[in-house]
Amino acid sequence: MDPGSRRFNMLRVSLPATLLGALVTFGYFRFVDPAAGRRPGPGELLYFVVCFGALVFVGFRLGTRWSRPLMAGTPPPGPAGDEVRRRAVQFPWFIAALHLAGWTLAGLIWGVLWPVIAGVFEPAQAVRAFFGISVIAGFAATAFIFFATERQWRRRLPEFFPEGGLTRVGSVPRLGVRMRLVVIFLLIGVVPVSVLGVLARNRAREALAATPEGAEAIVANMLVSVVFLAVAAIGVAVALALSVSRSVAEPLAQLEAVMVEVERGRFDARAPVVSNDEIGRLTEGFNRMVRGLGEREFLRETFGKYVSQEIRDEILAGRIALQGEPREVTILFADIRDFTPWVEASDPREVVRDLNAYFTEMETAIRAHGGLVVQYIGDEIEAVFGAPVARPGHAEHAVRAALEMRTRLAAWNATRAGAGRSPLRNGIGIHTGMVLAGNIGSADRLSYALVGDSVNLASRLQGLTKELRADVLVSGTTRARIDGDLPLRPLPAVRVKGRTAEVEVYALG
């Protein structure tokens, strides 16, 4: 927005306010207190034009000089731009004060100074003229210009506070919602009553000094004056009430619209802060809350990439026992065969890229059957079925996941072979048993882990796949918990490290 268009917007509210004040002044001296007004002669008209031009010129110069920093664009952050931001918040107050000063001077110029120059000065007459111009018309015009300027300026005010902080600006008056209502009450309640009192007093004095016929005419004229006063008061009251209601309703409507956006998941949405009152503080608090929700959502999504979405949701919901809990689960270990020779013969970047692709294929298969990858240990995958969220039939789900892992690995190797690259093979061990599942670690860093002999046995079975020449080995405990028809072929019982009794094993055909 260029400075010219900004001045045009200010003129759009200044001219109606000045016109409103002029109409109120005319009506007051025409119907309420005609004795305080005079029919201007040629000299007074010239005096009026000169003084009015001088007031407009001085007001324009003062306003332009004071607001020049605001027209230079967004101020720099930090102390260098603090004064500009303070003026941005003060702008409606300054414009209102400038108009109030103008109307006060107008009351002195026409109510006091001109009678002195013309030699017709009367203190009582001067007070009445000053009251009609500066108090009655001036207050109405000043209130209107304040609320109208505030409404226009609010469209640009957020530009000065892109990071918020408007309500923390010091040395700026605060017009709260309650005080706005009080001001309007005084303007539309007390002022009209005061004017009506002045009207009744003047007409009563005129009626007492008049003849019976004249008194009757004065009473009839008073009825016309009361009607005019009622119409004018209603018009001014409606204009001011609309201005105040907009100053409250519009920021709340903007806040409500942003709330709808946040409900739809848009945590980057921000409500513009356009005042330093209760609504402004509420809006800034809402923006801080939304910013916090956005940061939490970002951490939630990032956290899910490191620990899995299931564990993430359980931890954030507080459903994972920090001290651990015993639970029957099925554990799956998968390890790449001949990993060390492959790493030594390959470029490290190629190894990382292939490992990521391999892990993606394997984890997709595990997740498809309700499993959870607990951790990656080098080239090894540790997965669990039945934790942290309990699932019935977890033993069968684990074996079916191993079948899909085999299928996906074959398809992936076919793609590698087409590119002239060597295939990868893996071994998978599956066992069902009791474990202690929970957050394990230090006071500063925790990880979801499974502890127990069942974990060790699943890892041992994975290691036995090389000796037994089977890519998938399933323990007898897991086989006993499977109700479905799966191609499991019994093998001779084996002895594993750490156990005295032999373990019944099955190969997945």
Residues 246 and 352 reside in one and the same domain: no
What's the pLDDT score for residue 302?
Answer: 59
Burial code of 482-503, b = ≥16 C-beta within 10 A, e = fewer? beeebebeebeebebeeeeeeb
For 217, the token pair is: 């005419």
Between CA 160 and CA 163 the distance in angstroms is: 9
Residues 240 and 330 reside in one and the same domain: no
The residue to which tokens 């046995």 are assigned: 457
Question: Do the domain assignments include residue 299?
Answer: no
Q: What is the DSSP secondary structure assignment for residue 508, as one 8-state letter?
A: E
Between CA 86 and CA 76 the distance in angstroms is: 13
pLDDT at 8 over 80: no
Quickly count: other Cβ atoms within 10 Å of residue 314's Cβ: 20
Of the listed ranges 97-101, 206-210, 475-479, the least confidently predicted one is: 206-210
Question: Do the domain assignments include residue 244?
Answer: yes
Q: What pTM does this model have? A: 0.60
Question: Do the domain assignments include residue 253?
Answer: yes
Residues 331 and 258 reside in one and the same domain: no
Residues 333 and 243 reside in one and the same domain: no
Q: Which of 215, 241, 263 is the last residue of a domain?
A: 263
Question: Which of 38, 39, 14, 167 lies closest to 95, judged by CA?
Answer: 14
**Hey, which residues does 441 pair with through a beta bridge?**
446
Q: Please give the backbone phi and psi of residue 492, each rounded to the nearest 5 degrees, phi first.
A: -60, 145
Question: Do the domain assignments include residue 277?
Answer: no
- Residue 300: pLDDT band (50, 70, 90) is low
Residues 347 and 427 reside in one and the same domain: yes
Chain center to CA of 462: 52
Between CA 205 and CA 35 the distance in angstroms is: 12
Count of the separate structural domains present in the chain = 2
Q: What is the residue-wise DSSP string for 119-152? A: T---HHHHHHHHIIIIIIIHHHHHHHHHHHHHHH
Domain of residue 87 covers 3-263
pLDDT at 2 over 60: no
What's the pLDDT score for residue 4?
Answer: 38
Question: Do the domain assignments include residue 307?
Answer: no
**Hey, which residues does 488 pair with through a beta bridge?**
508
SS3 of the chain: helix, strand, coil, percent, to 5? 65, 15, 20
For 327, the token pair is: 């639970």
Question: Do the domain assignments include residue 86?
Answer: yes
Quickly count: other Cβ atoms within 10 Å of residue 174's Cβ: 13
Residues 380 and 237 reside in one and the same domain: no
What's the pLDDT score for residue 209?
Answer: 81
pLDDT at 481 over 90: yes
Question: Do the domain assignments include residue 294?
Answer: no
Question: Which of 95, 276, 96, 248 lies closest to 171, judged by CA?
Answer: 276
Residues 182 and 99 reside in one and the same domain: yes
Residues 329 and 212 reside in one and the same domain: no
pLDDT at 431 over 90: yes
Amino acid identity at 439: N
What's the pLDDT score for residue 331?
Answer: 97
Quickly count: other Cβ atoms within 10 Å of residue 469's Cβ: 8
Quickly count: other Cβ atoms within 10 Å of residue 466's Cβ: 13
Contacts made by residues 285-291, CB under 8 angstroms, sequence distance 24+: 286/255, 286/258, 286/259, 287/164, 288/164, 290/258, 290/262, 291/267
Are 140 and 20 in contact by the 8 Å Cβ rule? The answer is: yes
Residues 259 and 337 reside in one and the same domain: no
Residues 219 and 352 reside in one and the same domain: no
Rg (CA), the chain: 42
Q: How many H-runs (helices) and E-runs (strands) does the chain carry?
A: 16, 8
Residues 258 and 329 reside in one and the same domain: no
Of the listed ranges 312-321, 326-335, 450-459, the least confidently predicted one is: 312-321
For 357, the token pair is: 């692709």
What's the pLDDT score for residue 474?
Answer: 97
Chain center to CA of 480: 56
The residue to which tokens 């009152």 are assigned: 277
Question: Do the domain assignments include residue 43?
Answer: yes
Q: Which of 245, 263, 281 is the last residue of a domain?
A: 263
Q: Helix 212-263 and helix 3-27: axis angle, to 10°?
A: 150
Instruction: List, for residues 252-271, the tens digit of each pLDDT value.
Output: 999 999 999 998 888 888 89
Residues 231 and 337 reside in one and the same domain: no
pLDDT at 120 over 90: no
Q: Please give the backbone phi and psi of residue 465, each rounded to the nearest 5 degrees, phi first.
A: -60, -30
Amino acid identity at 451: V
Quickly count: other Cβ atoms within 10 Å of residue 145's Cβ: 26
Instruction: List, for residues 20-71, the tens digit of each pLDDT value.
Output: 777 777 777 776 667 666 566 777 788 888 988 898 889 888 888 888 888 8
CATH number, domain of 403, equals 3.30.70.1230
CB proximity list for 196: less than 8 A, separation 6 or greater: 226, 229
**Hey, which residues does 381 pair with through a beta bridge?**
334, 376
Considering all CA atoms of the chain, what is the largest pairwise distance in Å, rounded to the nearest integer? 134
For 465, the token pair is: 């796949």
Query: H-type helices in 109-122, by residue range?
Result: 114-118
Q: Which of 263, 285, 312 is the last residue of a domain?
A: 263
